[in-house]
Amino acid sequence: MKISRNKFFPAILFCLQFGCSQYQSKPLTEQAVELQLETPTAYQLSIQAAQIKHPLLKPMPFNIQDGLSPDEAAILAVLRNPELRAVRDQHGIANAQLLQAGLLPDPQVSYSLSAPSGGSNLDSNNAFGIGLSWQATALIWRENKITAAEKQQQGVDLQIAWQEWQIAQAAKLAVYQLIIYSKQQGLLTEMAQRLEDNRARLQQAADEGLVTELERVAAVSAKNLVDIRLLALKLQKKQQQQRLNRAMGLKPHEAVRLQQDIELLTELNTPAYDTLIHDVENLRLDLMALKRGYESQEERVHIAVLQQFPQISIGFNHARDNSNLYTMGFGVSMTVPIFDRNQGQIALDRATRQQLFDQYTSRLFQARADIAELLVTIASINKQIQSVRHAIPDLANLVNAYQSGIENGQVDVFNYYVAWNSLTDKKIDLLTLELQLVQAGIALEVASGLYHVTPDFHGK
């Protein structure tokens, strides 16, 4: 059945008068996508970094002209990570839910018309009736619905901030990893060159019959093992660079120069366990989000209980019967809670509340356990670093002694290379331990919910 436009015109006027929303298209075009993924200029990033709003990350001077620092990588990841854009859209959804929670149900308007169709008195008037009703009990739980939506919105915002914090910390760690991998690559490259010189020397000595075939093969094998380590490290470094680019929302082939003067820690001083767990439930953003979610669910349980009682609607009506008699009246209608007293919704909301309670207590227990474990790990790494640092000078003195012995003809070159390679391995081990210390320090910040929880870690 085709309906004329004239019948739609009053409805359109009604919507415009009462502020109805209008449809606006947003096509998913390639141009729109590329514009969203375009990398901003350094100037634009500096402005955004100075205006960043986050419970933990504070605005900071942003200048990557001298290279990217770990903290700048963290800020850049929060500003540019594409995954976070989608996460932040949850804020708009929570706002819409809060708006919906505050809206009262629309009144209902009814109209009826009955015309005589038979009988002895066909001259009777057409009868009609007009009614207006509204569900009054919606006022009872309106405040609870608003409170539940407000708590939910707060929880969503905290969860967004927690995910931003996670990605920021991951980007910061990636910068430290790249710095350490570069230092290790330099040491392994130097070792590979020394072993290549040793292999060539032994090859020549083997050709002249001065060394055995076993010694020549051992030199080749040692060189091959270092080459394998070097290739694996280069691959690891490239993969880490791609992870950093992904975290910061950069294209795969965009290269960001890192700061060269970043110092690595050889010891990490941490607060005591009791200090770190004190008030952790009000410092960890994810715990705060779970708490707001639980409070929101508590309101939903209250709403479900209120909705088990009869729902009452009040209304007014105006009518005319066939005898031309006009009437006006008042009516009340209510549901009779016999079969469905909202028991299913009450049970569901209570079970959900219990689930959120258990999730909160489990996450809190895990946070405290993680802090305790990380403190043990950091203390152990501190001791290992000190042990390796004490061993390096002794190995360096041994290398110097072998070098002097070679010049005097008292030591063969093979022992000299062995000592030199042992010294390089110790330096690589030290860098590995320093990376583990950085990882543990960042993990401790995440577990405790405190930024700069370890002042030495940030060079304070």
Residue-wise pLDDT for 114-126, tens only, equals: 888 776 666 678 8
- Per-residue pLDDT at 121: 66
- Rounded CA-CA distance 230/188 in Å is 6
In a domain, 352, yes or no: yes
Q: Does some domain include residue 18?
A: no
Q: What is the pLDDT of residue 360?
A: 96
- Span 265-288, pLDDT tens digits: 889 999 999 999 999 999 999 999
Look at residue 122 in the predicted model and tell me its pLDDT.
60
pLDDT of residue 336: 85
The per-residue pLDDT for 443 is: 94
CATH code: domain of residue 374: 1.20.1600.10
Residues of the chain with pLDDT under 70: 1-20, 37, 39-51, 119-123, 407, 409-413, 452-460
Residue 371 belongs to a domain? yes
The whole-number pLDDT of residue 209 equals 80
Q: Is residue 2 a part of any domain in this protein?
A: no
439 in any annotated domain: yes
The residues pairing with 109 across neighbouring beta strands, listed in sequence order, are 132
Quick one: pLDDT at residue 155? Answer: 93
Give me the number of domains the chain comprises.
Answer: 1
Q: Are strands 312-320 and 108-114 parallel, antiparallel or unpaired?
A: unpaired
| Domain housing 86 | 37-117+124-458
Q: What is the pLDDT of residue 41?
A: 66
Q: pTM of this prediction? A: 0.81
The pLDDT value given to residue 199: 85
